[in-house]
Structure 1
Amino acid sequence: MLRRLTIRDFVIVDRLELDFEAGFGALTGETGAGKSILLDALGLVLGDRADASAVRVGRERAEISAEFDLPPSAALRAWLDEQAIEVEDGALILRRVVEAGGRSRAWLNGSAVALNQLRELGEHLCDIHGQHAHHALLRGDAQRQLLDTHAGAAEAAAAVAAAYRQWQQARARREGAERDNAATARERELLGWQVDELAALAFDATEWAELNHEHGRLAHAAALMEGADEVLAALGEGDFAAAPLLGRLGVRIDALAAIDGELGAVSELLGSAAIQADEALHALRRYRERVDLDPQRLAEIEARIGAVTDMARKHRVAPEELPALLGQWRARLEELELGADPARLAAAETEARAAYEVCAQRLSALRAPAAAALSERISAAMQGLAMAGGRFEVALTEVAEGGAHGREEVEFRVAANPSQPLRPLARVASGGELSRIGLAIQVITSRDAATPTMIFDEVDVGVGGGVAEIVGRMLRELGRERQVLCVTHLPQVAACADWQWNIAKAERDGEVLSRVVVLDEGARVEEIARMLGGVNITATTRSHAAEMLGAAGAA
């Protein structure tokens, strides 16, 4: 659950340190006081995108941190291990900084993380329902995703989508081969000839480097021989050749060093020079024996280089790119040869379709019981939301050949009263009915979620009176299983909360700031009386507020 939220210089908040409790908590206050700003701050630390407008005017940066208890979730622990995040004392501390220039940084337990990592973590910790969330339920894709999430079928749905794509790709290959058979045959013939020609060249990039090296040596053989002979003469031939001269000088200096030890260093240097000169002389003689004029080999290498260069120029690539080009041609030729075999393509398509059917049937087996159970539970919830006799159904309509989302279409249908037939939710629900049905769906499906904290941002818009009280009881009941936070304007809902905060604006040094007050029992009476009576709060209003709190506490 969420333990603490700390906010610095965010929008109209200067400094807030909020300690949260378990159960159902209500956040109340006048419109525009900043109730939703708290949820925006929490969303920011859970990975929402931010820009410079998040920073309070005149400040360099906004900073939000949140502390959560580590929930007993194997999936979350596996994710933390995968990200190499260490957890101490069972706490997860998230921190987000947004600079006035728009730059943003984030940390998790002291380690820098990316925004997508915060978002992935947030899915394990907190589930936020916005005030317009019920409108999303009018979309078919949202209805399908909600059912699949409720049924624990998200992975099965992804597998169906992947299998469907593979099936359609196999179908497209078969149909394309049938449609373009003549053109494919011409391309196959041309590629076959090109592959044979390039393969016959038997060329690889290693050979190209060796050819160029040997060609350079043979092309300059005369110069190499002449230079080697000249150095050999200077090093080892004649009375004044360098190598013998260094040897004689070394013998002479050794004799002198025996008389005066200060010449020892010179003796060592001359000895070393004599050894190196001698080694150079022997190495050069061995080299000279190998170097020779070989016009025939030079001609062979130049012919080979010419053949490779001509082939590279013909296909407009560098010589060293020819082996890769041959690999590409062979892969394309193999693909075309597969396309030339209709039976093989048809078999591949049949196999892909069979794999799709297996995945789709598995998904259908998960959806059917979940749809029936969800229909029953939401229909039951509607009875207490001023829709007595109303019915809700998650209809599964079979799709003939199946599709990317399975063998059936998912559609939410509703009848607001007993005299009406079931019809699509998007066509029959009024605004108030949609709000109530949407709230029932959110609360019921939230019970199946693994997230320990649920947040509802004015999801009770469009309800009132006795229905509002029932909504409050629903949230209070949900709060017995997990932490529930609700931004609300309804006193009936707030009265059902286990604890309540008031968010208000206050002016300080000419600046309007948002502040949060933790309400005790007496302050709760005053706040709920304000929500009931508006500006003029009377003793009767206070009495009514106290009665509402007492009734909610006894429920």
Structure 2
Amino acid sequence: MLTGLSIRDVVLIESLDLEFGPGLGVLTGETGAGKSILLDALGLALGARADSGLVRTGQAQAVVSVSFELPAGHAAHELLRENGLAGEPGEPLVIRRIVKADGGSRALVNDQSASVGLLRELGASLVEIHGQHDDRGLLNARGHRALLDTFGGIDTREAERLYRGWREAEDALARARDALDAAERDREFVEHASAELGRLAPQAGEEEELAALRANMQKGARLAEDIAAVGQYLDGSDGGLSLLRQAARRLERIADQHDRLGEALAALDRALIEASDAEDRLAEAADALAYDPARLEEAEARLFEIRAVARKHRVDPDALPALAEELAAKLAALEAGTRSLDRLEQAVAEAHSAYRAAAAALSVQRHAAAERLDAAVARELAPLKLDAAQFRTVVETLAEAQWSPLGQDRVEFEISTNPGAPFAPLAKIASGGELSRFILALKVALAERGGAATMIFDEIDRGVGGAVASAIGERLHRLSDSAQLLVVTHSPQVAARGNRHFFIEKSHGLVTRTSVQLLDDSRRREEIARMLSGAEVTDEARAQAGRLLEAA
């Protein structure tokens, strides 16, 4: 609910602070008093285009602030949270717009900077402004389906869930097809490479082992003669080890004859141990460096093949086993691809069928709700002097490419203003006064199903009077039971229905100014009498004003 409007230096308004309450608030005043300035100021705070011409002459800037009290669960709460602008629980929402005389503007939400785009989103959820030139709200066909669904109590959540499932199944199928197509393009290469690696059967670390074997055998070929000669020095009856053993045996017989002989024997024993270890190491080296021409040729051939295949596939030799597994997996995927596509195609068909059934059920509900809405609007037309007009809700099935989570229907409100005249969208047929009354009839029909918490009607009673004005007033009053209404009116019948009455007047002096006053009961009676009689207020007009107020 709109609770306050504060205006500083906007056109003819120097300073103005208004407080609003629930129910129906009416704004009256003589023509040209400045009622449109109030609506322009409110629109500015709700995201309308900033025009430096709105700044009062001689001032640097204009400022408009509005405050709202929002019930729990209002759509604006989520918008504020998403943009990091939520206030403290229980605190009002405050929107401020500043327009500079030299161009440019600023927007603030709860004293934090915000974009004008966000103001428009907030404004759409907070206030509906209905005027002769308004192209939003009920005149915008894009919102008609949601209005019909709300009126009919139609729950679209299951269709939304099934639509997402259908699209996800289609995406999975498309990805699988792309992958299979790419794999099919490479099939010949994959089959050849997989067969080649299968024959080669590379092992992890094999290239390093073969390279070491090859290097050792090449060394062995160069060192074989030296290793054999060293072996001869150590081994055999005339070798070093044999002579050391003979010396040790002979020394052992006399070692106890002197300490130094014992030490010499111990040294010989150590020399024998070291010489024996050297002999063993020499034998191991001879084995490791053993040169076998056939084996060397075989190792080199294997090594060169592994390296050649690795270069061809642009991988390290150690990565060949993993590549072989990858290629085998691709071949397996190719074989399984067709079966997988069959399953995914079946899943898409089932998801499509489930969504289509849910969307068809929504269509049935919408057609039924459309009939009820058409009847409800028709009941409101005659009292509003629109008895020759007809209203209908068009529900038509869209092409499959245009289906959405909300179903397969396009919904639009159409009217025919005269018998036999073709139906067409609201904004294209109705005149200004007719359009406002059509909107009122629709709003009354839709009232029990909700909408914005605050609605503003700008001169909805233009060009009508008497019984029609009374019917408009009665319907506005009824509509205000479920929403806050502000109505700019020239009709005393409508003004008498208000819960609060604001009087707008223009004062002329050195500077022309517009002011707004909340009228008490006596001044309200006088204002309605003025609306009834014109420039000179008569006693009969005052009496009639009293009767209107008593009947309201």
Task: Spell out the pairing of 1:293-304 with structure 2 (5 A cutoff).
Answer: none
- Report the CA distance shift for 1:496/1:403 in structure 2 as closer, same or farther (over 3 A): same
- Report the CA distance shift for 1:68/1:401 in structure 2 as closer, same or farther (over 3 A): closer
Rounded to whole Å, the distance in 2 between the matches of 1:126 and 1:139 is 15
Report the AA paired with residue 103 of structure 1: S
Rounded to whole Å, the distance in 1 between the matches of 2:76 and 2:137 is 27
Rounded to whole Å, the distance in 1 between the matches of 2:137 and 2:68 is 29
- The percent identity for this pair of structures is 37
- Report the CA distance shift for 1:360/1:103 in structure 2 as closer, same or farther (over 3 A): same
Task: Spell out the pairing of 1:156-171 with structure 2 (5 A cutoff).
Answer: 156=157, 159=160, 163=164, 166=167
Say if 1:397 and 1:410, in contact at 8 Å, map to a contact too: yes
Rounded to whole Å, the distance in 2 between the matches of 1:135 and 1:124 is 12
Q: CA deviation at 1:106?
A: 0.1
Task: Spell out the pairing of 1:4-43 with structure 2 (5 A cutoff).
Answer: 4-43=4-43
Say if 2:97 and 2:108, in contact at 8 Å, map to a contact too: yes
Rounded to whole Å, the distance in 2 between the matches of 1:356 and 1:75 is 27
Q: CA deviation at 1:119?
A: 4.2
- Partner residue of 2:518? 518
Deviations along 1:422-477, one digit per CA (max 9) or x if unpaired, are 95566996535444323211333244225432211223345443212211111122
- Report the CA distance shift for 1:35/1:160 in structure 2 as closer, same or farther (over 3 A): farther
- Partner residue of 1:550? 547
Q: CA deviation at 1:158?
A: 9.2
Say if 2:162 and 2:354, in contact at 8 Å, map to a contact too: no
- Partner residue of 1:61? 61
Report the AA paired with residue 485 of structure 1: L
- Partner residue of 1:466? 467
SS at match of 2:109: strand
Say if 1:496 and 1:549, in contact at 8 Å, map to a contact too: no
- Partner residue of 1:259? none
Q: CA deviation at 1:503?
A: 2.0
Say if 2:128 and 2:137, in contact at 8 Å, map to a contact too: no
Report the AA paired with residue 386 of structure 1: K
Rounded to whole Å, the distance in 1 between the matches of 2:146 and 2:81 is 28
Q: Paired residue for 2:104, among 98, 102, 105? A: 102
Say if 2:529 and 2:537, in contact at 8 Å, map to a contact too: no
Task: Spell out the pairing of 1:339-418 with structure 2 (5 A cutoff).
Answer: 343=342, 346-347=345-346, 349-361=348-360, 363-364=362-363, 366-388=365-387, 392-398=391-397, 403-404=402-403, 406-412=407-413
Q: CA deviation at 1:159?
A: 3.3
SS at match of 1:57: coil
Q: Does 1:475 align with 2:472?
A: no
SS at match of 1:500: strand
- Report the CA distance shift for 1:384/1:182 in structure 2 as closer, same or farther (over 3 A): same
Say if 1:398 and 1:409, in contact at 8 Å, map to a contact too: yes
- Partner residue of 2:440? 439
- Partner residue of 2:149? 148
- Partner residue of 2:133? 132
Rounded to whole Å, the distance in 1 between the matches of 2:179 and 2:80 is 53
**Structure with the greater alpha carbon radius of gyration:** 2
Say if 2:93 and 2:109, in contact at 8 Å, map to a contact too: no
Rounded to whole Å, the distance in 2 between the matches of 1:486 and 1:351 is 53
- Partner residue of 1:295? none
Report the AA paired with residue 370 of structure 2: A
- Partner residue of 1:505? 506
Deviations along 1:230-284, one digit per CA (max 9) or x if unpaired, are xxxxxxxxxxxxxxxxxxxxxxxxxxxxxxxxxxxxxxxxxxxxxxxxxxxxxxx
Q: Mean Cα displacement is larger for which, 498-507 or 46-55? A: 46-55
Rounded to whole Å, the distance in 1 between the matches of 2:516 and 2:154 is 41
SS at match of 1:15: strand
Say if 1:453 and 1:484, in contact at 8 Å, map to a contact too: yes
Rounded to whole Å, the distance in 2 between the matches of 1:161 and 1:434 is 39
Q: CA deviation at 1:482?
A: 3.2
Deviations along 1:84-104, one digit per CA (max 9) or x if unpaired, are 634365533333333343031
TM-score for both structures, normalised by structure 2? 0.60
Say if 2:76 and 2:122, in contact at 8 Å, map to a contact too: yes
Say if 1:55 and 1:62, in contact at 8 Å, map to a contact too: yes
Rounded to whole Å, the distance in 1 between the matches of 2:502 and 2:417 is 35
Structure 1 unaligned spans of 5+? 197-303, 313-329
Report the AA paired with residue 547 of structure 1: Q
Q: CA deviation at 1:359?
A: 4.6
Say if 1:132 and 1:459, in contact at 8 Å, map to a contact too: no
- Report the CA distance shift for 1:119/1:398 in structure 2 as closer, same or farther (over 3 A): closer
Task: Spell out the pairing of 1:323-342 with structure 2 (5 A cutoff).
Answer: none
Q: CA deviation at 1:29?
A: 2.5
- Partner residue of 2:46? 46
TM-score for both structures, normalised by structure 1? 0.60
- Report the CA distance shift for 1:158/1:361 in structure 2 as closer, same or farther (over 3 A): closer
Structure 2 unaligned spans of 5+? 195-306, 316-328
Say if 1:378 and 1:392, in contact at 8 Å, map to a contact too: yes
Deviations along 1:141-163, one digit per CA (max 9) or x if unpaired, are 45334323434659659939965
SS at match of 1:443: helix
- Report the CA distance shift for 1:468/1:348 in structure 2 as closer, same or farther (over 3 A): same
Say if 1:148 and 1:157, in contact at 8 Å, map to a contact too: no
- Report the CA distance shift for 1:449/1:412 in structure 2 as closer, same or farther (over 3 A): same
RMSD: 5.1
Say if 1:25 and 1:499, in contact at 8 Å, map to a contact too: yes
- Report the CA distance shift for 1:352/1:452 in structure 2 as closer, same or farther (over 3 A): same
Deviations along 1:501-549, one digit per CA (max 9) or x if unpaired, are 2223334534x33221333344434444444455xx3455x62364145
- Report the CA distance shift for 1:93/1:399 in structure 2 as closer, same or farther (over 3 A): closer
Rounded to whole Å, the distance in 2 between the matches of 1:122 and 1:135 is 12
SS at match of 1:501: strand
Rounded to whole Å, the distance in 2 between the matches of 1:27 and 1:411 is 32
Report the AA paired with residue 443 of structure 1: V
- Report the CA distance shift for 1:78/1:489 in structure 2 as closer, same or farther (over 3 A): same
Say if 2:403 and 2:409, in contact at 8 Å, map to a contact too: no
- Report the CA distance shift for 1:504/1:364 in structure 2 as closer, same or farther (over 3 A): same
Deviations along 1:272-304, one digit per CA (max 9) or x if unpaired, are xxxxxxxxxxxxxxxxxxxxxxxxxxxxxxxx9
Rounded to whole Å, the distance in 2 between the matches of 1:191 and 1:453 is 69
Say if 1:6 and 1:64, in contact at 8 Å, map to a contact too: yes
Q: CA deviation at 1:117?
A: 4.6
